[in-house]
Structure formats: C-alpha cells, structure tokens
Amino acid sequence: MLKDTSILRYLGFNTQGDLGPWTMYTSKRKGLVFFVKAPPLEPPSPLQTHQRNRFRLAGYVWRSLPQHVQRQWQTAAIDAALRITGYNLFVHWICRQDDTYIQTIERQSRIHLVPLLRTVP
C-alpha cells in the first residue's frame, strides 16, 4: 500500500520501522510503503535470545550511568562527527569490547570515555 508521506513529515514522524500493527518504510521510487506486521513463525533461537539479552544488558548499564557520564558519551559522538548517538556508541562498545575503536573516538573528541566508566561507583 502506498501513501503520501508529507502529512507524516509535517507531524514529525520518521516513516520507517514498526508503528503499532504496521511496518513501514520510505521507498525512493514509491514513497511510503506500509503493511501489516507479520508475527514470527518460530520462537527465537538460543543465539537470538543471547543477542537480545546482550542489548538489554547494555541498555540497563547505560541507564545506570550518571548523567554527566552519559553527556560525555553524547558529546564525544558529536565531536567525533559520528552519525550515531552517544547511546549507540556506548552500546557498540559494550557489545564489541573494542577498546581501540573507543580510543580513536577519544582522540578525535578529546574526551576520555573509558576512565569515566572506571570511576563510576
């Protein structure tokens, strides 16, 4: 089903992903495409459950950080000209444990991120 997206853009909606029972995205050729969300046919695999738990744990750790540490991650993402938020940067680091990647971000933004985490009570 195809609809004009101008009213949704006017209301501030980003027309992609799931919204209630609908899945939608914007096609360059067709405009807004949406359809009824299809339920999964099988239960999640053990690996899917493990991955979901990793992301859930990363979100929990983020919410448990003090506001000033969260702001540092947000500022580092902006200063390093990344097209992701500080939350996404943090989740990437927690899930990948890639210190060299974060060290590069620290050099670019001149903000020390990992020492901030080691000082969190």
Residue closest to 89 by CA, chosen among 103, 107, 102, 79: 102
pLDDT tens digits for 18-38? 878 888 887 777 777 888 888
CB 91 within 8 A of CB 54: no
pLDDT at 23: 86
Task: Please give the Cα distance from 92 to 3 (Å, whole number).
Answer: 35
Q: From CA 87, how far away is CA 108, in angstroms rounded? A: 18
pLDDT class of 120 with cuts at 50, 70, 90: very low
Condensed to tens digits (0 to 9), the pLDDT of residues 41-74 reads 999 999 999 999 999 999 999 999 999 999 999 9
Domain range summary for the chain, segments of one domain joined by +? 2-36, 46-118
pLDDT band at 121 (very low <50, low <70, confident <90, very high): very low
Query: Residue 114 corresponds to which amino acid?
Result: V
- pTM of the entire structure? 0.65
